[in-house]
Structure 1
Amino acid sequence: MTDDSTSRFQAGRTGLVVRIPDAEPAVRAWRERFDPSAKAGVPAHVTVLFPFLDENRIDARVYSGLAAVLSSHHAFDLRFESCGRFPGVLYLAPEPDGQLRRLTEVIADRWPEAPPYGGQFTEIVPHLTVADGQDDAVLDEIEADLLSKLSFTSRVSSVDLMVHDGAKWQERASFALLE
């Protein structure tokens, strides 16, 4: 959940993410310095859907709907072997990313009022943000360091609902995928 505006950190904002704890040794120090979401309590992750519904709209029906949608998808492995970029952003590229895209699509289809990236982008590009809002020289330095620490594989077995409480992002629920 990359932060390119202060409005993304409003209390009640939610997002769905898959945690990638295997990435922490490689990315933690860089994320703490250059990724606002890390400073706000979000662990290394790949976003499934952001923003999701405002917290005040998440009730028992939404929880059960998320559980039903997500429990019909199998757990899977992701490899992280390379970096990618958006303007001012460096990220780790998960491979293969088809299952991540499918998770995003099925949740967005179920809740069309919550399009990926708020409808700002048409293409879904799964990624693990390491640095945001930096110039190319900084991104080049980070990428050189990361390439010496790749590759690794991470198991995706759940999707977490994160909520911003006004100060930090907190996990509100975790939804298991089929093992």
Structure 2
Amino acid sequence: MPGHSVLQLPVPALEEWVRTRTAHYDMGFVSTDPRFGHAHITALGPFDPAPSTAVLASIAALAAGTTPIRVRLERLAQFPHGIIHLVPDPADRLRDLTARLVAAFPDWPPYGGEFGDDVQPHLTVDAASDEVDLASTAALLTDVVPADCVLDRLQLAWWETDHCRVLHEWRLGG
């Protein structure tokens, strides 16, 4: 599968846990880039794989105009296609950031438009299977959840087997 870029907010409080879980499934998606947010909340993805200087400047301005976002990660949920995730609370500022990014870059709808306007901020932690469900995932997360987090960086990350890395990074609020 070819790679893709994502504008994402790294979540350091869950980084070790998500990185370990990623390694359990596919070492190819474990990045050697120490800045890479394996644990993240997607702001907009997929995104332009080769953004121009003007696009990067627009992202920088959006990031500078966004103060850090406080969220609590506690509640687990599961999407119909099996992705088990933590639901950030509150999610309104995350939805607002996504809406502003979509307004600035209308050629890049969230998730390629697959879910329409119903974009639900989340932090992916696992995938349902015969052995994995909400209860088993909750049991594994007991040492790290709940987590009160301040999301203070926006990354343009590249996701591709054996090539995951941060392409650009901006501090929220400048």
TM-score (norm 1): 0.82
Q: Is the 8 A contact 1:81 1:93 kept in 2?
A: yes
Residue 16 in 1 paired to residue 7 in 2? Answer: yes
Residue 85 in 1 paired to residue 78 in 2? Answer: yes
Residues 33-72 of structure 1 aligned to structure 2 (within 5 Å): 33-34=24-25, 39-41=29-31, 43-55=38-50, 58-72=51-65
Q: Is the 8 A contact 2:30 2:38 kept in 1?
A: no
Residues 113-152 of structure 1 aligned to structure 2 (within 5 Å): 113-122=107-116, 123-132=118-127, 134-135=128-129, 137-139=131-133, 140-147=135-142, 149-152=144-147
Cα drift, residue 167 of structure 1: 3.1
SS in 2 for 1:125: coil
Q: 1:37 to 1:47 in 2, by over 3 A?
A: farther
Look up the match of 1:76: 69
Residue 94 in 1 paired to residue 88 in 2? Answer: yes
Q: 1:164 to 1:90 in 2, by over 3 A?
A: closer
Q: 1:28 to 1:113 in 2, by over 3 A?
A: same
Task: Specify every segment of 5 or more residues in structure 2 that has no aligned partner in the other structure, as ranges.
Answer: 32-36
Cα drift, residue 60 of structure 1: 0.9
Look up the match of 2:23: 32
How far apart in 2 are the matches of 1:38 and 1:70? 29
Look up the match of 2:166: 171
How far apart in 2 are the matches of 1:43 and 1:23? 9
| RMSD value, Cα | 2.2
**Amino acid of the structure 2 residue aligned with 1:106:** R
Q: 1:27 to 1:164 in 2, by over 3 A?
A: closer
Aligned sequence identity (%): 26
Q: Is the 8 A contact 1:88 1:136 kept in 2?
A: no
Q: Which digits, 9 at most, give the CA deviation of each residue in 1:64-97, with x for residues without a partner? A: 1111122111112111111111131111111111
SS in 2 for 1:124: coil
